[in-house]
Each structure stands twice: as structure tokens, then as C-alpha cells.
Amino acid sequence: MLSPSARFSALALLAIVAPAAIVAVLGYVSIRQWEASSELLYREQARDMAAMAAEKVEMTLRRTQDAFLDRVQAAVQAGPPSERAIDGLLADAPLIRRLYLVGPRGDLLYPRAWREGDQAIFGPYVSATALHKLVREGRRDVVAGNQVCLALLTARSGAPVVAAFLRDVETLRRDVFETTLGTFESPTIIAVLDHEGRTVYSRAPIGDAQRLSSVAFRDALPDWRLAIYQSPGASPRQAVRRQVMLFTGALGILVAVIVAGIVATWRLIRRETEMARLKSDFVANVSHDLRTPLSVIRMFGETLEMGRVTDEARRQEYYRVITREGERLSRLIDNVLDFSRIEGGRRTYDMAPTPVEPLVRSTLEAFAYPLAQQGFKVEVGVAADLPDVVMAADAVGQALANLVDNVIKYSAGDRAIAIDVRTADERLVIAVSDRGIGIAREEHARIFEKFYRVGRSDTQGRRGSGVGLALVRHVAESHGGDVTVESEPGQGSCFTLRLPLGGA
């Protein structure tokens, strides 16, 4: 069953996950809709801009051509076209590259002869049939293909005269397109394409730019188009995609946070569940440990009280058992009380210079009877001339007692204990070794956690509260030191307690 804190964590996580998931889904749908509508809006704006630019070009071109044709009309009205006068008009009109004036029957009025190759270009448009149609409709016509321009003029006699001309593309680019389109303030690229799709003019290099829209010119430039391009990296789709990537990144971070929260909460719940189980085991183990020495003390005490033991040697034996079980009970109670103080942050240590060898031997002496009774081989090695070490003697003694008690608990057939005391690297080193059942490497770190006990069948039947090594670590760290273990299953263990010589 989950603890209240675990249930609260699960509900809090659910309260975060549900709204976050809804916001993420709605945000993703919205950004996709925004992407589609933004691209459509960009294209509509580009089409409007293209239509407006094309109209402006046509107006400029028509105005320039009309001004030239008005001057030619005036020259024709003055009498038969004078080559000198027409040549002067052409010199003042760089936009007009070729000009021919043709009578209603197809007779050439200006110049007197076709220039090389021009008859093939102009001939189809100034034939008698084509001129008759032009005169009948009474309009100016611009023919696609070679961009032959036709304009209907009137001679002095009232007879129709057709002006046929070609534009100079370079002048068209410089004086019309650049003047007209170069003033547009827009991050887009405006280009003019001829009837074959070739770029006649562009405000900037097109390169890999994306075409947004294009419109056709009308009578002034038939079959030519004005196109709007978006520079690479600045297209609306790419801009929206950057926003989508930004949102996706934020969504990814949100998902990562949610996943991390789920994992953390799951670990918390699992930890809480395990802790509840360990606490339950702790209570059961402590109850068993308390009951065992109390039962022994009571049984031996009642036996002595009833006078059933008449032999003095046996009575002394019973007294030693009662004393030993009383000491074991005291150690257990001290462990529980110290653990409670540590959990509540109330455990304090009185530091004072302490002789090390007497502390070690007195602690080991408290276990003399169970060690002898269970046939342990005991080896104690204390370096000579050890200095007094600043420590809390009772706490260090209790830590050492817990290590010795573990040796007694977890030794099997080969019963031996070795205590080695020395100094190294300005530290007091106390190593407690045995030849017991050993500990798997993957559990070395966990055995110092509170309530934790090695999960093996050969340890489950042995008494223990699961707080002894946690107390040892707390004592070591409170003194500014540490405790480590070296062990392999079936090879015994060596716990090493290291304390600074001068205290924490």
C-alpha cells in the first residue's frame, strides 16, 4: 500500500501530465494550422505585389513609348517622312532599337530599304493582310515572339501609316525595370522573365530562391511575366518551420521533463514501498532481537531464582550468560536510540583525544564470551606508538562493535576475525576482516543504507535490524572519515574505517 506522500506525488504528477499533454497537442495542431494559413497569406501578398509591380512597369513603358510615337506622328503629319528627322528622333529614344514606317499597301516609307535580316522579322507583321486587319481594328498591337511592336499613325493625307519597331532590351532593363522595380521596399526578389522563361531582370541573384508567385504582363509585354521570389532561408515555409522546430524543441523539453517526473515519481513510489517494507522488517527484526536476549535473561534468571542450580561453576556460567545477553540488549537499544537521534538530526558527538588501543581492546573484550563460545580465532594487530586521536570514543566504539557483531552473525564454518589498527595518510585506519559468507560486489554500496539487508537465502535467517552499518557510516562521516568494504561471496569481508587523526 502506498504511503500518503507517494499517493500525493502520483496525484501531483497526474495533475501535471494531463494539462501538459492537452496543451502540447493543441499547440501542435495550432502551429500546423498557422503554418498552412501563413504560407497561403504570404503567397496572396506576393501575388498582389506582383500584379501591382507589373502594372507599374506597363504604365512606365507605355508612357515612354507613347511619348516617342507622338513625336513620330508629328513628323509624319508634317509631310513625307524625312529620314534625317526620323533618325534624330531615334537618337533621342534609346528604348527603340529598330523603326520602320510602312504604308497601307505594305510599301516601306522609312527607311528606304530593309536592314539586313529585318524583313524576315518584320515582314509577317506588315504584310498587306496584317496591315488591313490592324487598320480595320484601329489599335496598337504588340506581337509576341520577337517583341515586334506595331502602332497605327495617320499621314498628312489621312492615310494610315504603321510604325513597326523593336525595343532595346538593355535600355528596357536599365530605364524601365530598374527605375520602376528598384524602388520597391520588400525582402523578396522581383524578377522579369521573357517569353522563354529567361531572366531579363532581377533585383538580386535568384540562385536557389523559391518562387512565390508570378503574373503575366498585358499588351505592353505579352508572354512576359513578373515573378516574386523569396530568398533562401527566408521563405515563409522555412520561417514557419523554424517556429515549428522551436515549438517541437520546447515540446521535447516538456516531454523530457514529464518523463523525468514520471521516472522520479515511480522511483519515489518504489522507494517509498521498499522503505515501508524495510521499516516493517526493521520492526520485526528489532522485536525479535529484543525478545531473544530478554527471553534468555528471564529464563536464566528464573532458574537461578528458583535455586535449581546448585553448582557454583554453573551459576557463574549463568551469570555470564545474563551479562552477555544484557550487553547485547544494551547494544541493540543503543543502536535503535542512536538511529532515532540520527533520523531526527539530534545525534551529537563529544570529541576528545582518545587512546586508540584501549578502545579497541575494550570493545573486543565485550565480545570475548560469544567469540570463544563459537570458536572464533581472534587476531588483533595494533601499531606501536599510535597517537591519541580526537574522536567520540563511545560512538567509534559502537561502530567497531557493530562491525564485530556482523562478523559473528555472518561467519560460517571458518570462524576467524582479524582487527588491524594503524595510521596511513594522516588517518587512523581500523580494518575488521573475517572469513564469512561474503557480499556480492553489486551490493557493496547498498549495505550501508538504512534498513537494507543483503537479499540472499543464507542471510535471511540471521538476526539483524539493518541499521548497524548505516550507523557505522554515519559515525565515520561525522568524524570527517569514511568506511569501505572489500568482499566477495564465499571469500569473507574486510570493513575499513578511516578517521582523521585530528578529528573532523
The domain spans of the chain are 349-500
Can you name the residues that pair with 201 across neighbouring β-strands? 192
Q: With a cut of 50, say whether residue 457 has pLDDT above it.
A: no
Helix runs in 78-172, H state only: 83-91, 118-122, 128-137, 169-171
Query: Distance between alpha carbon 287 and the CA centroid of its chain, in Å?
Result: 51
Q: Residue 69: how many CB atoms within 10 A of its CB?
A: 21
Tell me the mean pLDDT in the region 404-409: 89
469 membership: H or E segment, kind and range: helix 468-478
Query: Distance between alpha carbon 233 and the CA centroid of its chain, in Å?
Result: 23
Give percent of the chain above pLDDT 90: 24
Tell me the mean pLDDT in the region 469-497: 91
Q: What is the rounded distance in angstroms from the CA atom of residue 97 to the CA atom of residue 74?
A: 20
Q: Residue 491: how many CB atoms within 10 A of its CB?
A: 13
Residue-level pLDDT at 155: 86
Specify the CATH class of 349-500 in words: alpha beta
Q: Which of 430, 446, 28, 398 is nearest to 247 (CA)?
A: 28
Residue-level pLDDT at 456: 46
Q: Which of 432, 404, 408, 416 is nearest to 497 (CA)?
A: 432
3-class SS of residue 390: strand
Residue-level pLDDT at 67: 92
Q: With a cut of 90, say whether residue 450 has pLDDT above it.
A: no
Helix runs in 351-426, H state only: 356-365, 368-373, 393-409
pTM of the shown model = 0.45
CA angle 86, 91, 93 (to 5 degrees): 95
C-alpha cell at 413: 564454518
Q: According to the per-residue pLDDT averaged within each range, which of 157-166, 300-309, 345-354, 421-430 is highest?
A: 421-430
Whether 75 contacts 81, CB under 8 Å: yes
* Higher pLDDT, residue 459 or 291: 291
Q: What are phi and psi of 190, to 5 degrees?
A: -100, 130
When mean pLDDT is compared across 98-112, 277-291, 432-446, the lowest value belongs to 277-291
CA angle 476, 482, 487 (to 5 degrees): 115
Residue-level pLDDT at 503: 67
C-alpha cell at 61: 513603358
| Residue 352 to residues 87, 317, 471, Cα–Cα distance (Å) | 121, 37, 20
Q: What is the rounded distance in angstroms from the CA atom of residue 294 to the CA atom of residue 322?
A: 9
Tell me the mean pLDDT in the region 147-163: 85
